């Protein structure tokens, strides 16, 4: 191997590390120290914890194995999340009680670990850097996941305030523009189905272990809607009494609706004919053409049934996305919420199916289970995905809170069916009989 390629690979990895770490700090910038301590429910974590935990990951899995002492050996128990093999963990529901270390100390923690990481990346020989690269790439992907969680978690926390404070002022240039094409009925794009392959193929590109191995699936002919379900679609469902009609719901879902008094998406309520929503840019009236977000799997399933359709399987979704560029409304657009659907003339997704990436995570009907031949990695890193493969559903595609470049056609997100604090919506599917 020539000397030019390793130097290029080293520079690329260092640049990626600096970019991802800086993005986290950019997202934190609008928040006060008081904001960063908020934990509104056990499923969420304080902003300061996200900043510390992502730093702990590099300290624990990259620096410590190379003999670098921790910044403070007392902090491991605070910032370990679920890695049982690494040691004890502070109870997740009590993360909001950790006033110490302070926000300033966590900022120093990040700076110290970043300096140590950059020194390490600059000093390793080519072979050692190549061996370490997968762990660093995992750490960067892990931090990008926490960037999205940082936003969903602070949104949930701010929603609890009667003042409904905005995370930040929304730039005037991001004003909603109605998309008339999205207000029309969805067009269904057919696929022949048959014996297909899904999952990540062997490659040098980063992917999570739950995307592997690539394997064959047989699909009956199907058709996917060319856009996400919109606020206007949801209004038709709600106005028809959808939340009160048991024939539209899974039994568990209808019990959940009644037990929790659910009448609208999370962070939303009806005001006469309008759907008023609270997002990171404050309170606003949702446009009928924009993608519906913050709905549970139960709501997504019932809404699909109301619209004479169903939710796609993850295999159907992936087949449609496999030949599609991963372009869409992601975090870097600075919208920080779903914008209206793409116009019908958009040509970025050549399959005819639009909005496959960005805007809103798409619930599928697929249980989050291991692919045939799946093997978790050895050691604590193997706890990353595999042990969560039970009682959860797969979502695909990313959202407007997801960093650009983080997702791909094979990417599998997963949440419990009652989850609504994530930016989750849905796409319709139907069986296609030719």
Give the DSSP letter string of 169-189.
Answer: PPPGGG-----HHHHSPPPEE
H/E element, 17: helix 4-28
- Identify the burial level of 228 via C-beta atoms within 10 angstroms of its C-beta, where 0-12 means exposed, 13-18 middle and 19 or more buried: buried
Q: Which of 181, 166, 151, 173 is nearest to 340 (CA)?
A: 181
Q: Is 64 left (phi over 0), alpha (psi -120 to 50) or beta?
A: alpha
- Distance (Å) of CA 4 to CA 7, 17, 131, 348: 5, 20, 18, 35
User: What tokens were used for 305?
Assistant: 């049934």
**Which residue intervals of 124-205 are DSSP H helices?**
126-159, 180-183
Q: List the one residue out of 331, 337, 330 whose CA is nearest residue 281.
A: 337
Q: At what angle do helices 4-28 and 126-159 cross, to 10 degrees?
A: 20
Domain ranges for the chain, please list them. Answer: 4-159, 172-431
Instruction: Decide if 163 contacts 278 (C-beta within 8 A).
Output: no
Name which of 375, 291, 392 is nearest 338 in CA terms: 291
* Residue 93 backbone phi and psi in degrees, to 5: -65, -10
Residue tagged 């296609």 (tokens): 432
Element (H, E) at 215: strand 215-219
Hey, how many other C-beta atoms are within 10 angstroms of the C-beta on 274? 15
In 297-396, at which residue ranges do the beta strands (DSSP E only) sit? 361-367, 393-396
CA distances from 253 to 177, 250, 299, 396, 422 (A): 34, 5, 8, 21, 18
User: Which one-letter DSSP state was computed for residue 71?
Assistant: S
Instruction: Show Cβ contacts of residue 332 under 8 Å, excluding neighbours closer than 6 positions.
Output: 403, 404
**How many Cβ atoms from other residues are within 10 Å of residue 354's Cβ?**
27
Tokens read off for 361: 């995570």
CATH number of 172-431: 3.90.1580.10
Fold (CATH) for 4-159: 1.20.120
Alpha helices in 59-95 (DSSP H): 76-79
In angstroms, rounded to a whole number, what is the distance separating the alpha carbons of residues 408 and 208?
Answer: 11
C-beta of residue 430 within 8 angstroms of C-beta of residue 275: no
- The per-residue pLDDT string of the chain (434 residues; one tens digit each, 9 = 90 and over) reads 333 444 599 999 999 999 999 999 999 999 999 999 999 999 999 999 999 999 999 999 999 999 999 999 999 999 999 999 999 999 999 999 999 999 999 999 999 999 999 999 999 999 999 999 999 999 999 999 999 999 999 999 999 999 999 998 765 544 444 444 445 688 999 999 999 999 999 988 999 999 999 999 999 999 999 999 999 999 999 999 999 999 999 999 999 999 999 999 999 999 999 999 999 999 999 999 999 999 999 999 999 999 999 999 999 999 999 988 888 999 988 777 766 655 544 444 556 899 999 999 999 999 999 999 999 888 888 889 899 999 999 999 999 999 999 999 999 999 999 999 999 999 999 998 86
Is there a contact between 226 and 179 (Cβ–Cβ < 8 Å)? no
Q: What is the pLDDT of residue 347?
A: 42
The pTM assigned to this predicted structure is 0.94
Distance (Å, rounded) from C-alpha 205 to C-alpha 176?
36
- What order do you get walking across the sheet with 274-279 strand by strand? 268-271, 274-279, 282-285
């Amino acid at each position: 191997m020539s000397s030019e390629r390793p130097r290029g690979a080293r520079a690329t990895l260092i640049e990626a590390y600096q970019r991802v770490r800086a993005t986290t700090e950019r997202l934190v910038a609008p928040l006060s120290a008081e904001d960063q301590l908020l934990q509104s429910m056990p499923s969420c974590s304080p902003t300061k914890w996200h900043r510390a935990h992502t730093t702990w990951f590099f300290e624990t899995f990259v620096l410590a194995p190379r003999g670098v002492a921790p910044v403070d050996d007392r902090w491991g128990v605070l910032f370990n999340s679920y890695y049982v093999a690494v040691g004890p963990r502070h109870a997740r529901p009590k993360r909001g009680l950790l006033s110490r270390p302070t926000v300033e100390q966590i900022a120093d923690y990040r700076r110290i670990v970043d300096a140590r990481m950059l020194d390490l990346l600059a000093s390793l020989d080519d072979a050692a850097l190549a061996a370490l690269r997968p762990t660093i790439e995992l750490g960067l992907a892990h931090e990008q996941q926490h960037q999205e969680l940082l936003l969903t978690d602070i949104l949930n926390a701010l929603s609890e305030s009667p003042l409904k404070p905005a995370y930040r002022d929304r730039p005037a240039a991001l004003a909603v523009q109605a998309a008339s094409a999205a207000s029309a009925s969805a067009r269904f794009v057919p696929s022949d189905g048959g014996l297909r392959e899904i999952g990540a193929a062997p490659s040098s590109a980063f992917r999570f272990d739950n995307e592997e191995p690539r394997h064959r699936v047989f699909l009956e002919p199907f058709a996917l809607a060319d856009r996400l379900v919109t606020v206007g679609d949801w209004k038709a469902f709600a106005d028809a009494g959808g939340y009160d009609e048991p024939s539209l719901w899974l039994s568990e879902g209808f019990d959940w609706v009644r037990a929790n008094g659910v009448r609208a998406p999370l962070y939303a309520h009806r005001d006469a004919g309008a759907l008023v929503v609270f997002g990171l840019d404050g309170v606003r009236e949702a446009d009928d053409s924009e993608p519906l977000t913050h709905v549970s799997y139960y709501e997504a399933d019932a809404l699909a049934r109301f619209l004479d359709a169903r939710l796609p399987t993850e295999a159907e979704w992936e087949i449609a996305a496999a030949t599609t560029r991963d372009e869409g409304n992601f975090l870097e657009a600075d919208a920080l919420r779903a914008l209206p659907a793409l116009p019908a003339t958009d040509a970025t997704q050549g399959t005819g199916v639009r909005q496959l990436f960005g805007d809103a995570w798409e619930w599928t009907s697929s249980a989050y289970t291991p692919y045939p031949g799946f093997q978790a990695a050895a050691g604590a890193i193997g706890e990353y995905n595999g042990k969560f493969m039970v009682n959860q559903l797969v979502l695909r595609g990313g959202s407007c809170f997801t960093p650009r470049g983080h997702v791909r056609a094979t990417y599998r997100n997963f949440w419990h069916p009652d989850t609504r604090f994530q930016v989750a919506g849905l796409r319709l599917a139907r069986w296609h009989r030719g």
